[in-house]
Amino acid sequence: MKKIRIGMMGFGRIGRQLYQIARADEQIEIVAISDIGQPEILHHLLLHTIPDSSDVRLDNNYLVCDKTRTRLMPADHPAEIPWDVFGVDVVIAATGRFCTAADLRPHLRNGAPRVVMAALPEGDIDRVILCGVNDATAQAADQIVSAGSSSTTAMGLALKVMAERHEIAHASLTSVHAYTSDQSLQDYAGADYRRSRSGAENIIPNVAPAPYWVGKALPNLAGKLSGYALNVPVHNGSMLDLTLSMQEPAEDIEHINNMYRAAAAKQPRLIQTTEDPIVSSDVHGCEQSLLVDLQATMRAGEKLIKVLAWHETLGQANRVMDVVRLYADLDATLDPAVKEAS
């Protein structure tokens, strides 16, 4: 089995979770990580924020564990990183800062055959893959790819389950999202009025790109989706509040919940359901992208359905790695030597 050699730019929360996932997968090796942070601090954050990482040590500028040595190197821009030196198969862009094709092309020029974004793009790129929604559209020729976002994948999965059985007239999303690292802890003049307010003290209305990208992944629903986000002062654990207007009278609650139970049994890596009366902190450690809160399913009139579901960044980190594996499999089908070796 050929190993997938990964380079990564950004070692924040999702970056550290990606490192954790890679350690548990014999097929994956993260060979280099670029981040503006000092190696000692990056190592400290890993030890104190990621479970079961106490055996990872810092050896000069390398993270070392029983599996591999990962080079840590400072860089402020993709153009500064010599990926060809490390022989990477793919670079994961996990900073959240570089979101356009123009921003990411330097990774390719510096030796990376492909870039997988851990966030949504700004503008057109080769492909946006929402796992479990439009995986089949991936092409081996794609070079700049996005694995979507946690709320986008959650919305896509929730709608796909419903749309496979019933016709949706319109769906509206409220993404109740934990505050993010680009928000200020104190009131501070930023890009717009609302995002200049303290993320640790306020519920802040925000734009939600998820409906646009889900409409592209599920063309039958294009033009039928809308929504916005509420950034709330919660560290981790976000919620999808989805209201669906159906073409025909809505089925009863148990029928709807049974659809999600069946979907979870069919795609357990992606979808999970819970009967428990959970809250946001109970979602920590959830590896799925959609955790449907069955107690909260509601009918509102003849044709309206409300579905609540949960997600956290570990689910998104797993989907990023799923996209990396998806393209590695596509590449293997085109490489006779790899195919013969496997």
Q: Are residues 288 and 267 in the same domain?
A: yes
Three-state SS at 309: strand
What does the pLDDT read at residue 66? 86
Which of 91, 86, 89 has the alpha carbon at shortest distance from 105?
91
Domain limits at 64?
4-148+317-341
Q: Are residues 169 and 135 in the same domain?
A: no
DSSP state of 2: P
Matching residue, tokens 């991936």 = 138
Q: What is the CATH number of the domain that holds 212?
A: 3.30.360.10
Rounded to whole angstroms, how far apart are CA atoms 333 and 327? 10
Q: Are residues 158 and 306 in the same domain?
A: yes
Q: At 133, which amino acid appears?
A: V
Q: What is the CATH number of the domain that holds 46?
A: 3.40.50.720
Instruction: At 102, give phi and psi (nearest 5°).
Output: -65, -40
Q: Are residues 179 and 44 in the same domain?
A: no
Matching residue, tokens 């548990």 = 24
What does the pLDDT read at residue 337? 53
What does the pLDDT read at residue 184? 85
What does the pLDDT read at residue 338? 45
What does the pLDDT read at residue 335? 67
- Residue 205: beta bridge partners? 230
Q: Are residues 192 and 261 in the same domain?
A: yes
Q: Are residues 32 and 167 in the same domain?
A: no
Other CB atoms closer than 10 Å to residue 158's CB: what's the count?
25
- Mean pLDDT, each 10-residue run in order, the chain (342 residues): 92 96 95 96 96 94 92 94 96 94 97 97 96 97 97 97 95 93 85 88 93 96 95 93 93 94 98 97 96 95 94 97 97 66 43
Which of 80, 127, 75 has the alpha carbon at shortest distance from 101?
127
Q: Are residues 118 and 177 in the same domain?
A: no
Q: Are residues 185 and 256 in the same domain?
A: yes
Q: Are residues 209 and 292 in the same domain?
A: yes
Other CB atoms closer than 10 Å to residue 278's CB: what's the count?
16
**Domains in the chain, number:** 2
Which of 72, 20, 28 has the alpha carbon at shortest distance from 46?
20
Q: Are residues 174 and 250 in the same domain?
A: yes
Rounded to whole angstroms, how far apart are CA atoms 254 and 98? 44
Q: Are residues 12 and 77 in the same domain?
A: yes
Rounded to whole angstroms, how far apart are CA atoms 168 and 181? 35
Q: Are residues 49 and 136 in the same domain?
A: yes
Q: Are 22 and 6 in contact (CB under 8 A)?
A: yes
